A and B are shown apart, each in its own frame.
Chain A
Amino acid sequence: MERIILGDNQFFAVNHLSDEKSRAQAMRFRTTNAIIEVLDIAYDLGIGTFMCTTHDRIAEVCEHIRSQPSRYQNFKIYPCMPYAHKYANAVTEYGVIEALKRFMPGKMLETAAKGGFALIRKDFMEMMKLLVDAEMKMFTGIKTEVIFLQNIITDLILGLGMYDFFVGFAKHIKAKYGAEPGFITMNMPFLLDVLEKQGILNPIICASINKIGFRMSGGKESYEKTIMERKFRPMAMQVLAAGALAPEEAMEYVCKQKKIESIVFGASTRNHIKQTKELIEQMSSRFGL
């Protein structure tokens, strides 16, 4: 994994600190071109990995990336699935079964039959694979070396205790996409315990890791201990705690924990992206990385 990764919350009006800011973001990024402009800035500054939700508009970004293969030769996407609001809204509108039918790909006769059959037989593992494939469709032809399960789903499976889905997801991602499975969570120590018990060793886990303990369930100390003592590949998100921390102290906190492999951050302007990248590099080298 690359050390510095660009996230996508800023493009989709996700701001954990302010509803007002998220409205301003929605206005700024109403066109896909506005998103691509920011991706281009990051790419030209040497940030080649974009971590994003499987939002409908990402399909348009992928279209653009595919149309210029030489320009985006080293461009990678780490998809995070699913875009939960899409499913939640459909469940509200149509109910669970009807919503599932709508999202299982129906264009190819073969998949439709497979999906329908899985529904009737209540083969949930098969359904999960079909849903993953439906989400992955938009990334055809794009390098996706790590494929993440979004935190709402990771943590739901974790809470419900349906751990075999982690195994099923990991196997499917490896077998079908030749990629590494990744897990986003707000409950990192708990998740790592479970993944290890399920035989998923040295997993890639993306979690909130920040100096004020924001969204670090189980507590900051337990996170620090887990990172220090356990074998897994941590990726830090929400390092600025949604903006509550000054960049310097935020990055210092993350970079001094040397086992953290990657840092994902969101930014919308050249200056901001450049400064963040330089700050991470500077802090990393200060701690001998």
Chain B
Amino acid sequence: MIKAGLIGLGKMGISHCAILNAHPNVDLVGVCDSSKFILSALEKHGSMKCFTDYKQMIRQSDLDCIFIAAPTRFHAEMVCHSLEKGLHVFVEKPFCLKIDEGRKMVDLAIKHNKVNQVGYHNRFIATFNEAKRIINEGIIGEIYHVLGEAYGPVVLKEKGSTWRSHKSEGGGCLYDYASHVINLIQFIVGAPQHVAGTVLKSIYSQDVDDAVYTTLLYKNGISGQLSVNWSDEAYRKMSTQITVLGKDGKVIVDATECKIYLRRENKSEGFEKGWNIRYITDLTDSVDFYLRGEEYSAQIDHFIACLLERKTENVSSFASAFETDSVVEMLVADNSSRI
């Protein structure tokens, strides 16, 4: 059994807590949060040991690994401390707020040879993996453009009071929503080298952006656009879509379906000329325990499998999330260069 600890019992933390606690190969020995309220519910009705000081939890629990779902501004300190104590680390996205800290965490994980993963769960959705495969195998030909979009109804009023509404704490659509899309674009076609015409727009929020629009530029001539808005009430929940255009066709992919348009029939793949659709139901493997999407269980399964197999290569490594942070930083710089 892998002994795990968990820091942070917000929305993602509680979700990780349930998945870890139900995991056949994991013994969730300790959980930690600064809020006594949630902790006391777990203490009273659950069976985990609860802490308010994560260092104390690490000291007293003989952990193999740690899951960090605390607010982003605490990531660097918690990740470094955990790595130095010899733990494998899973940390929520976004990875961190300062590039220097990100680099330090990547280096430290390599130095200590520990499994390192960031919670970009879209990388574990079968449709996005299918799109990546189709593009990598050259089925739509040479890629020339990518469009990444995400819309959802998070901030719909002028007033907000949680950490999401504070820039200094990693709030805002850029860190919270757009980072997912940037990370996915990177996963499917790679990271851009430059960005231009970035607009970080506040719609309802005072301190942070609610929408992110930008142009992505690649060295090899690929171009891209990013359009992300978390203040769009027309969506019931976050909807993410990536469109990739190639010389022989295009792929439009979201969490439920992967649509492929081909200019010519592809017999070996079973694709016809014109539109083809691959549905999530045909592509997804079932998980041992399901909470709110196969991907949330699958990413934890992957982390645990890496640990058991002693391999530090990872589908969503610190290094890949650091690359996303670097693009985020380019966007911030590009936006402020015009202000």
A94 to chain B, nearest CB (A): 6
Known: A96-B35, A217-B288, A244-B282. A155 touches B18 (CB 8 A): yes
Given A19-B256, A161-B46, A164-B45, are A92 and B291 neighbors across the interface (CB < 8 Å)? Answer: no
**Closest chain A residue, CB of each to CB of B291:** A155
Residue total for B at the interface (Cβ-Cβ under 8 A): 49
Q: B255 near A19 (CB under 8 angstroms)?
A: yes
B2-32: which have CB < 8 Å to A? 10-11, 14-15, 17-19, 21-22
Contact B256 A17 (CB under 8 A): yes
Bound complex: CA of A164 vs CA of B42, how far in Å? 12
Which chain A residues lie closer than 8 Å to B22 at the CB level? Answer: 158-159, 187, 190
Partner of B161, one of A88, A94, A214: A94
Q: How far is the CB of A30 from chain B (nearest CB, A)?
A: 11
Cα distance A96–B10 in the bound complex, in angstroms: 8
Chain B residues with CB under 8 A of A219? 286
Chain A, range 151-165, C-beta contacts under 8 Å to B: 152, 155-156, 158-162, 164-165
A124 CB, min distance to chain B CBs, angstroms: 5
Given A92-B154, A213-B286, A219-B286, verify A162-B41 contact (CB < 8 Å). yes
Q: Which of A15, A19, A26, A187 meets B289, CB within 8 Å?
A: A187
Give the docked Cα–Cα distance between A215 and B41 (Å): 29
Bound form: Cα–Cα A137–B194 in Å: 55
Asked if B42 and A92 sit within 8 Å, CB to CB, the answer is no
Task: Considering the complex, give the chain B residue whose CB is closest to the CB of A220.
Answer: B286
B254 touches A216 (CB 8 A): no
Q: How far is the CA of A216 from the CA of B294 in the complex (A)?
A: 11
List B contacts of A187 (CB < 8 A): 22, 289-290
Interface size on A, residues (CB 8 A): 49
Which residues of chain B have C-beta atoms less than 8 A from A69's C-beta? none
The reply to whether B11 and A88 contact each other, CB–CB distance below 8 Å, is yes
Q: Is the CB of B40 within 8 A of A156?
A: no
Residue numbers in A under 8 Å from B17 (CB-CB):
159-160
Q: Are A215 and B290 in contact (CB under 8 A)?
A: yes
Query: Contact: B11 with A92, CB < 8 Å?
Result: yes
Least Cβ distance of B130 to chain A in Å? 15
Does residue A75 face the partner (Cβ distance < 8 Å to B)? no
Could you say which residues of chain B place their CB within 8 Å of the CB of A212?
Answer: 281
The answer to whether B37 touches A122, judged by C-beta atoms less than 8 angstroms apart, is yes
Given contacts A13-B236, A122-B44, A215-B290, 6 further A-B contacts (CB under 8 A): A92-B154, A93-B162, A156-B14, A164-B45, A217-B287, A218-B288
Binding site for A on B (CB under 8 A): 10-11, 14-15, 17-19, 21-22, 35, 37-38, 40-42, 44-48, 153-155, 157, 160-162, 164, 234, 236-237, 239, 241, 254-257, 279-282, 284, 286-292
- A-B residue pairs in contact (CB < 8 Å), sample of 14: A17-B281, A26-B236, A93-B155, A94-B161, A95-B162, A122-B37, A152-B291, A155-B289, A156-B18, A159-B22, A161-B47, A162-B46, A190-B22, A242-B279
